[in-house]
Structure 1
Amino acid sequence: MANPNKRKGTAWESAVRDYLNRFLGLVDADGTFLDPMDGRNIRRAAQEGARDVGDVHAAPFILECKDVEKSAVPKWLRQARIEAVHAHFPYGVVVHKTRGSGVAAGRVHFDVPTWTRVRSALGLHPREAAELYGVTVSARGLGTGRWYATVTLERFAVLLADVRAGVSRAVR
């Protein structure tokens, strides 16, 4: 792979995939899938060109992974939404690498409609969800299309497990 930016992006996608698979207990100590046919396995998606389906599939989420210094979250979230539709997944989010930190510190961004649907599926009030998953909200300008919610990848892994289980930690 000659392009250094492509190499960085691929490494970040793989790090996100590996972190989530380990967190969810889907791989052994060597990183090999316990059940290669398990639909819950987190996988890097093949590139689809104009009908791109996201970088990482973590059902029911499409993860659009970004390892760049300059942030463009609203633009990336639009891209993630489109890719989730292409992949027939209900949720599209962005995972942005945090410079100088481990993979768990990566930032997972949700647009407001996606965050609302996820927290509603868990039966959580906005304040409850914010406390439970460490959500911060960025309200940039007056247009709500530029607003988004953010959690760390570590907290997203917990959220992903909760969404997959169909229960809220607040109710457990």
Structure 2
Amino acid sequence: MTAAKRKGTAWESAWTAYIREHHNPEAHRNVQMGAKDIGDVSGYYLHAAELKAEKTITLSSYIAQANREAVHAGQPYGCAVVKRRMKGTGDGYVVRDVATDVRLMNRMRDMEEALKDAAFDRWYDIDEEHRRAAA
């Protein structure tokens, strides 16, 4: 295995562990399937995640790949998860193109409005929890 491949595998493993702890305990690395890849890691809610740990960052190719893999995975959103050099896992970057991000924000807005209408107290508690986490 090349040094670059080892670095990529280490990043995928570290990010998967981070996602398991902070987001979804069922997250896992995927077996690569060539032209029909479904992303490097499954379990990042609604996303196909394409992980990159490279010295030279080429966002346009990462995003194009993530969006293709989202289609293959049957997920509505693709994202590139890019390792930040000399930093820990939580300091990496999750990157989407603007069109994908706007679709995601529209979904969040619509779902929040629906939850407010259906169960305002539940929406309020969730909103408070996430505002506290951001502080």
TM-score range, shorter chain: 0.7 to 0.9
Give the corresponding residue for 1:49: 34
List gaps (5 residues or longer) in structure 1: 27-40, 125-165
Shift of 1:67: 0.3
Give the corresponding residue for 2:115: none
1:24-50 Cα shifts (integer Å, max 9, x gaps)? 363xxxxxxxxxxxxxx2111110011
Distance (Å, rounded) in 1 between the aligned partners of 2:73 and 2:106? 22
State the one-letter code of the partner of 1:46: V
Q: CA 1:112–1:21 in structure 2 vs 1: closer, same or farther (change >3 Å)?
A: same
Which structure shows the bigger proportion of residues in strand conformation? Answer: 1
Give the corresponding residue for 1:3: 2
Give the corresponding residue for 2:60: 74
Q: How does 1:12-161 map to 2 (within 5 A)?
A: 12-24=11-23, 26=25, 41-57=26-42, 58-123=44-109
For this pair of structures, how many residues does the alignment match? 115
Q: Which runs of 4+ in 1 moved over 6 A?
A: none
Distance (Å, rounded) in 2 between the aligned partners of 1:116 and 1:48? 29
Larger radius of gyration between Structure 1 and Structure 2? 2
Give the corresponding residue for 2:113: none
Report if aligned partners of 1:42, 1:59 keep a CA contact under 8 Å in 2: no
CA RMSD, 1 decimal: 2.2
Distance (Å, rounded) in 1 between the aligned partners of 2:102 and 2:12? 25
SS at match of 1:93: strand
Give the corresponding residue for 2:133: none
SS at match of 1:94: strand
Shift of 1:98: 0.5
Distance (Å, rounded) in 1 between the aligned partners of 2:54 and 2:66? 16
- Scaled by the length of structure 1, what TM-score is found? 0.62
Shift of 1:99: 0.7
1:34-71 Cα shifts (integer Å, max 9, x gaps)? xxxxxxx2111110011111101123111100000111
Distance (Å, rounded) in 1 between the aligned partners of 2:38 and 2:13? 16
